[in-house]
Structure formats: C-alpha cells, structure tokens
Amino acid sequence: MSPLHLLRQPILTLCLILFAGAACAQTAPAFTPSVGQEGKDVVWVPTPQALVDKMIALARVTASDILIDLGSGDGRTVITAAKRGARATGIEYNPDMVELSKRNAEQAGMTGKANFMKADLFETDLAQATVITMFLLPDINLKLRPKLLELKPGTRIVSNTFTMGEWVSDDSVTADGTEGCSFYCKAYLWIVPVKAEGIWKMAQGELDLKQSFQMLAGTLKSGGKALTLANGRIRGDQIVFTAGGIEYSGKVDGNQMSGTTKAGGANTWSATRSAAPAK
C-alpha cells in the first residue's frame, strides 16, 4: 500500500464523518425551549413582551445605558433594550438558551448590540451596569440585594413580580389587562441609594442621618433644639428632608453634600460628613 493511499484513507473517513455531521446538522431540529424547563437556580418562564416593554420604559433606558439582564432566558429583555440603543448583555446559565438568544437577536437585527454570555448570575461582575433587569425568585433577589446596594448610586433595578424584602420599591408598573399578559404582569423599580448615613456639620447645626435603604430619619441639632427630620428620602445621589418646617434638597458626593432649601432668604446649604456610620 502506498504512503499516499494510507493518507487518503483517513481523509476519506474524515470526509464521511464531516459529510454525516453536515447532514446531521441540517436535519437536527433547532432547540425549542419549553416554559418551566429547569434552570440552575430558577426555571425558565418568559416575561410577557408587554411587560418587558413596560420594564424598559420604567427604567427609562436610553442609548447611554449599560443594561444587564440576570437570567436572560430567550433574550427578549436584552433585545428590547438594545433596540433602544442601550449596550445590553444577557447572563444565562443554559447554553442552549444563550444560542437561542443569539439567533433571536440576529432575527431582530440586533447582532452585536444585544450580547449574551453563558455564565452564573451570582458570579458576574455587575459594576458597569446602569440598569439591571431580572425575573428570578424572592429568595434570589434577597441573596443579590447586598451586591445590588453596592452598585453606583442611581443604578436602576427592575424586577418582574418579585420584590426585595424590606427594601421597598421606588416605583412599579403593571401590564395587567394588556393583551398577552395573564401572569407575572407587574414589575418593580429600585434606584440604588447613595450612602448618606452619618454625622454632618452644616451652618444650620449638626445633622445626624440614619438611613434604611432609600429612607432617611434623624435629627438636626440647631439653636439648642433637636429637630426631628420628616419626609427624608434618597433617590440615587439626590437627598431630601424637612427639618423645622424647612425642606432641604441636594446632592451627596462622598463626604460632602449641598443643595437648596425652600426657605426664604439665603437658600443654599452644604454639609460635611464628620463621622461615617459604624459598619
């Protein structure tokens, strides 16, 4: 047998394998997901498109956003955000769903704009996100909550149906009654609050802020009196509270904050944090 013949035989075998593979690839049915199919931590149930649209609107997603969908399923939320111009990425553990999402993105003309990664949502770096979307479970939301609270102040988090325990939502939306939405038709929005707790020195006195998520309480010690704060609230890096009947609103930037009051006369104020809260 000539050396050439020996070489040809494996080539022939390889060709047969390749041909069979190609034939198989042509006849193998494309992966079709089924509602309720197992997932690593959560089964797959798609968010109705009517609610996806409302979630993206609730988060006010624009072209300057970086959106991450945790457990992205068939990619619908990521594709919808990409259509608004956002840089959108889906994190999905099931590789078949990742491939399906890529095909769906291609069909929607969003290849390269809607991106998908096969990864575990608990091990994914979320630091760059300006918007997080999810449809998971109550206990998973709670497990993620500490990580979400460390994201940049102002980051918007939108969850289909499931809440965040005692971190009350800043807003919500429903697609109830919309065509195509019979189950899981409500979503909630949270805006990551800046950390404002501590003792602050200001011209008006000493401000002692106590923070629970986006809610603020505390006192302003001024002119020998301790004024109890009312209506204290944070939205991203914006703060508002009332003390002694005067409303203070402003912005927190590290250990400095400043803003305006709704009192007559000089209407600006500023404060410096002298003591950070004990961790």
Structure tokens belonging to residue 46: 């798609």
- Angle made by CA atoms 269, 271, 272, in degrees to the nearest 5: 160
Closest contact distance (angstroms) between CB of 82 and ligand SAM is 14
Region 124-153 residues binding ligand SAM, contact defined as CB under 6 A = 135
Closest contact distance (angstroms) between CB of 143 and ligand SAM is 10
Q: Where does this chain touch ligand SAM (CB under 6 A) — which range of 41-49, 146-154, 168-176, 192-200?
A: 41-49
Q: Residue 42 or residue 132: which is nearer to ligand SAM going by CB?
A: 42
Closest residue to ligand SAM, Cβ-based? 71
Q: What is the 3-state secondary structure (H, E, C) of 48-106?
A: CHHHHHHHHHHCCCCCCCEEEEECCCCCHHHHHHHHCCCEEEEEECCHHHHHHHHHHHH
Does 91 interact with ligand SAM (rule: CB under 6 A)?
yes
Closest contact distance (angstroms) between CB of 25 and ligand SAM is 24
Q: Which helix (H) or strand (E) holds 146?
A: helix 138-149
Q: How many CB atoms lie within 10 A of CB 100?
A: 20
Closest contact distance (angstroms) between CB of 42 and ligand SAM is 4
Does 110 interact with ligand SAM (rule: CB under 6 A)?
no
Structure tokens belonging to residue 233: 């609230």
Cβ–Cβ < 8 Å for 50, 181: yes
Place of tokens 């889906």: 90
Does 259 interact with ligand SAM (rule: CB under 6 A)?
no
Query: Can you tell me which of 8, 40, 143, 262 binds ligand SAM, judged by CB under 6 A?
Result: 40
Q: How far apart are the first and last CA of the chain?
A: 80
The Cα–Cα gap between 59 and 191 comes to 9
Q: Residue 173 or residue 216: which is nearer to ligand SAM going by CB?
A: 173
Contact mark string toward ligand SAM, 50..89, x via CB under 6 A:
-------------------x-xxx--xx------------
Strands 114-118 and 268-275: unpaired
Query: Can you tell me which of 65, 92, 170, 237 binds ligand SAM, judged by CB under 6 A?
Result: 92
Applying CB under 6 A, the residues found at the interface with ligand SAM are 39-42, 44-47, 69, 71-73, 76-77, 91-94, 97, 120-122, 135, 160
